[in-house]
Structure 1
Amino acid sequence: MKPELREQILTILAEIPSGRVTTYGRIAAMTEGATPRLVARALRELPAGHDLPWFRVITASRKLADHPCAAEQRERLAAEGVLFDPRGRVAAERLWP
């Protein structure tokens, strides 16, 4: 991945407000050429000890992606007031931007 593309993704990630979520696709659309998969890759490659809100990124179906930190992601979102319906989806009103 080009360093400038990674920088765009991380800059957008840092802007997601507390209590809101966005999707891999929405982040990709705000960049100059990233795809949702590239966004996911950039999040997987975040360095240890970072303070970026990776947990605020969900799938286009407004669910959590299936990954090892999904339980932590759900807890962190719940702590910010982001709740899930019985089907595991976040309310559309929580989407940013």
Structure 2
Amino acid sequence: MNSLVREQILTIIAAIPQGRVTSYGRIARMTDGASARMVARALRELPDGHELPWFRVVTASRKLADHGGADEQRRLLMDEGVVFDQRGRIAAERFWP
């Protein structure tokens, strides 16, 4: 992934408002050529101690991706008032932009 696209991805993630979420695909569509997988890779490559709200990025089906940080992600989102339904989905109105 080129550095311009990576920078675009990280800038978009930084802009996700508190209490809102967006999907890997929505972020990709806001860039100059990223794919949803590229967004996921950029998130996986974040260094320890970063301050980006990585936990506000979810799947297009409004669920958390299956990864090792999913429990922490759920907790952080719930701390911001995000509610999950019985199927583990987030309400569509919580999506940004």
Please give the TM-score of this superposition, normalised by the length of structure 1: 0.99
Superposition map of 1:1-97 within 5 A: 1-97=1-97
**1:88 Cα deviation from its structure 2 partner:** 0.3
**1:29 Cα deviation from its structure 2 partner:** 0.3
Please give the TM-score of this superposition, normalised by the length of structure 2: 0.99
Distance 2:48 2:65 in 1: 20
Paired residues in the alignment total 97
**1:7 Cα deviation from its structure 2 partner:** 0.2
Give the partner amino acid of 2:28: A
Identity level (%): 72
Q: Which runs of 5+ in 1 are unaligned?
A: none
Secondary structure of 1:40 counterpart: helix
Secondary structure of 2:41 counterpart: helix
**1:41 Cα deviation from its structure 2 partner:** 0.2
> Which 4+ runs in 1 deviate beyond 3 A?
none
Distance 1:48 1:4 in 2: 21
Give the partner amino acid of 2:82: V
Secondary structure of 2:38 counterpart: helix
**1:12 Cα deviation from its structure 2 partner:** 0.2
Q: Which runs of 5+ in 2 are unaligned?
A: none
**1:20 Cα deviation from its structure 2 partner:** 0.1
